[in-house]
Amino acid sequence: MQPLAEDTSAETERILIELWRQADPARKFALVIDSTRTMQEFLLSGVRERHPHDSPEALHRRFARLWLGSELARKAYGETPDDPE
């Protein structure tokens, strides 16, 4: 089996997979939600860093474009800032 992460030992990965298997559905759902929120925070932080003078609305649209993709973001929020992210 190919490792999930190059910087993690096989034993650590084996233990992690076993913990995931033993977790009940509520715990798995909580882990997914936490991971999603963390990714969104990292993404928004990067958008803010690259565009520090944008309005909150422009930042939100840039975030939406990255998170949802250009087509869906445009359908949901209208035109997004032109520059590619």
CB 85 within 8 A of CB 62: yes
3-state secondary structure of 32: helix
CB 24 within 8 A of CB 16: no
Ranges of residues in the chain whose predicted pLDDT is under 50: 83, 85
In the chain, the amino acid numbered 26 is: A
Residue ranges per structural domain of the chain: 10-77
| CA triple 81-64-72, angle to 5 deg | 95
Q: What is the pTM of this model?
A: 0.71
Instruction: Give the per-residue pLDDT at 25.
Output: 96
| CA triple 77-79-71, angle to 5 deg | 75
Instruction: Give the per-residue pLDDT at 8.
Output: 85
